[in-house]
Structure 1
Amino acid sequence: MYANPQIEQMNRSSLQRLQLERLKKQVKWAQEKSRFYQERFRSVGVSYTDIHTLEDISRLPLTERSMLARTHFMDWMTMPLSGVLRVQALPEEGESLTRAYTNGDIAHNVEMMTRCLTAAGVMNASLVAVQGDLSDSRLLDIQYALEILGAAVVPMGTDYHQWLRMLDMVGADTLVSTPHLVLQLVIQLQTAGRNIVDSPLKRILCWSRQGVQDPLRRHIQERTQARLYDLYGPAELGTAGILYQCEAHNGYHIQEDYYYPEIVDFHSDHVIHEPQHMGELVLTSLAAEAMPLIRYRTGQAAMLEEEPCSCGRTLRRIITPLSAV
């Protein structure tokens, strides 16, 4: 199933034309409106006028998490607070990163998430339990996308008493959660003398803040006997829908109409073009409005897979060390 076949099955040349058009606009927008990127571009002597091809993206400076952590979010932003729809401080690894979203940013995030959910088999007949604090913007995107698809949504919060009570009331076939909350649910059910395997649960969308594929994945798979689909949602990216798994489970499709991927050497700014070579995944937003992200070093080891996927999607995939095993 496809949520947006026009994009998910777009031919390569058309997609690259769309990417280049959006890249030029995004870099121009960042340079003109974001103080952070004005200074970054000036420091290396580059301008949006230097972008003529997709390969020219390598002329732009890389962005690292430490830079964003030291930057006031208003300097990163491209507009005053009166121009945004949502502002949130997202806790991550002991610190908090503030993100702002326009109406367009939220719409893009929800569109990406509908693709993730649909690729995992979620549809209007699905009954989906969502673990976590819905004050988190990333979970809000997931809930909105589920409602657009017509799925029944059961917000379960973070209280395990609520989890058990809601599970008794409804027989969810899908769970959206983080690896740690899934394991907490398994333990709480076990403490109550129950086994999650006996529930109707058949799929889990597990979104991780730390990595594309969490090392707890195999343990969760064994304990739940459910089909797992990984999502990647660190605070810097502001959504959990940029990378997603289809039913083939052969790597992670990239939302290439919204994010341009590169593989860069871990110890330099050298872009790796050779196939089957691992490096660091670098992402550039192509349609962000409030807080564009130019050549962000994710810290994730990955390689780009150019071969077509058996699911029929033409969006390229990344392969991680764990998924390559």
Structure 2
Amino acid sequence: MILDIATEAMNQEQKKRLQEEKLRTLFQRVYEKSEFYREKMDKLKIDVEAKAVFDNLEKMPFTTDEDIKHCYPFGLLTMPVSGVAFFDYSLEEKIAAGFTLNDRMRRIEMICRSLVACDITMCSTLLIDSHGIGLDELNLMHQAAERIGITVLINHDKDLVNMMAVLRDFGVTTLYTSSERSKKFGAYLNENRQKCFLQSILCNASHCNDQEKSDLEKQFNIPVYRLYNVAEKLGLFIGNECVYQEGIHIHDDYFYVEVINQDGMALPYGESGELVVTTLSHEAMPILRYRTGKKAVMENSVCKCGRTSLKVQFFS
């Protein structure tokens, strides 16, 4: 199933025009409203008015984790703090991400798309287990699930016996939790020779690598789907797996992704390198060419599910 066919199955020509328009607006916004980016762009002698938007993008500065820490807490904002609806932050890591109300609504929309892509719909009952999941992530997942009519329960109890009782009593079909918590639950089921009638498990990919995903699928004998948040405290929920699990569908109307080599040059589809992410619609804290440090390869083909979005495969 596809939640938003007009967007998720958009043809490539339309998508390119949309991305071009959003990138042009983004360049102008950060140049006018971000001292951090303006200084970098001036140093590189970048003309934000240049017509060749995608060529201009390849000249734009990268943003690193060190930059984000250096700008903590307000240095990357493009508006007064009074215009920010919510901050996610880490005092320990010196990372802060601001979001307007529109930014938050877009994040919820993307999670809605992800849930439907994983065949979690209004016929499903979703248990969100709070252990190993951030409070903001929990709230966004809760709001997204409710928006598309999914029955939601939230578990704050550490006791796996009680969690099993909730799964059984309410006929839960999908569990959203961390891979570590899922492993502990699977071990509990094996030790007590109990069966669980879940149909799927959802995990944040930040806490579930390929091997952990494979192990969980063997342990539970059900699909494990991952939502990709490439920079956890920055709230970059860039994509998700679908039921065919042949790559990560990028929300490429909201994010522009590149794969670069060691010299920082953009690579074509099919070649592996470092994944770089640019936000296309963030209002409070737009980010140019964030270097994720993750090795990936891009694929530009229509998926069996019907989505035309760019797909990414990550490597360890």
Shared fold by TM > 0.5?
Answer: yes
Decide whether the 8 Å contact of 1:174 with 1:202 is kept in 2: yes
What is the TM-score with the length of structure 1 in the denominator?
0.89
- Displacement of 1:219 in angstroms is 1.1
Q: What's 1:103 paired with?
A: 101
Hey, what's the Cα distance between the residues in 1 that align with 2:87 and 2:60? 28
Q: What's 2:246 paired with?
A: 250
Hey, what's the Cα distance between the residues in 1 that align with 2:118 and 2:217? 15
* Cα 1:298/1:51, change in 2 over 3 Å: farther
- Displacement of 1:207 in angstroms is 0.6
Superposition pairs of residues 1-325 of structure 1, within 5 angstroms: 1-50=1-50, 52-90=52-90, 95=93, 97-132=95-130, 136-157=135-156, 159-160=158-159, 163-190=163-190, 193-195=192-194, 198-209=195-206, 213-233=209-229, 234-240=231-237, 242-265=238-261, 267-273=262-268, 275-321=269-315
Residues 217-226 or 17-26, more deviating: 217-226
- Displacement of 1:203 in angstroms is 0.8
The unaligned stretches of length 5 or more in structure 2 are none
Hey, what's the Cα distance between the residues in 1 that align with 2:51 and 2:60? 9
* Cα 1:188/1:71, change in 2 over 3 Å: farther
- Displacement of 1:287 in angstroms is 0.3
Hey, what's the Cα distance between the residues in 2 that align with 1:239 and 1:174? 23
How big is each residue's C-alpha offset from its partner over 1:164-218, in whole Å with a ceiling of 9 and x where there is no partner?
A: 4533432211011221222233234455x244xx11211111113267x443111
Hey, what's the Cα distance between the residues in 1 that align with 2:23 and 2:126? 36
- Displacement of 1:29 in angstroms is 1.2
Hey, what's the Cα distance between the residues in 1 that align with 2:180 and 2:260? 30
Hey, what's the Cα distance between the residues in 2 that align with 1:250 and 1:225? 18
* Cα 1:34/1:194, change in 2 over 3 Å: farther
Hey, what's the Cα distance between the residues in 2 that align with 1:311 and 1:135? 30
The letter of the residue matching 2:198 is L
Decide whether the 8 Å contact of 1:90 with 1:97 is kept in 2: yes
- Displacement of 1:138 in angstroms is 2.4
Q: What secondary structure sits across from 1:261 in the alignment?
A: strand
* Cα 1:180/1:35, change in 2 over 3 Å: farther
Decide whether the 8 Å contact of 1:51 with 1:57 is kept in 2: no
Q: What secondary structure sits across from 1:154 in the alignment?
A: strand
Hey, what's the Cα distance between the residues in 1 that align with 2:68 and 2:259? 20
Decide whether the 8 Å contact of 1:202 with 1:225 is kept in 2: no
What is the TM-score with the length of structure 2 in the denominator?
0.91
The letter of the residue matching 2:213 is R
Q: Which runs of 4+ in 1 moved over 4 A?
A: 188-191
How big is each residue's C-alpha offset from its partner over 1:214-255, in whole Å with a ceiling of 9 and x where there is no partner?
A: 431111111111211111223254043x11111221111111
Hey, what's the Cα distance between the residues in 2 that align with 1:96 and 1:220? 33
Hey, what's the Cα distance between the residues in 2 that align with 1:90 and 1:194? 40
The letter of the residue matching 1:85 is A
Q: What secondary structure sits across from 1:50 in the alignment?
A: coil
What is the CA RMSD across the aligned residues, in angstroms? 2.1
Q: What secondary structure sits across from 1:209 in the alignment?
A: helix
- Say how many residue pairs are matched: 313
Hey, what's the Cα distance between the residues in 1 that align with 2:88 and 2:45? 33
* Cα 1:101/1:166, change in 2 over 3 Å: same
Decide whether the 8 Å contact of 2:226 with 2:241 is kept in 1: yes
- Displacement of 1:307 in angstroms is 2.3
Hey, what's the Cα distance between the residues in 1 that align with 2:138 and 2:100? 17
Q: Percent identity at matched positions? A: 27
Q: What secondary structure sits across from 1:268 in the alignment?
A: coil
How big is each residue's C-alpha offset from its partner over 1:285-309, in whole Å with a ceiling of 9 and x where there is no partner?
A: 0000111111011111111112221
Hey, what's the Cα distance between the residues in 1 that align with 2:115 and 2:225? 9
Q: What secondary structure sits across from 1:67 in the alignment?
A: helix
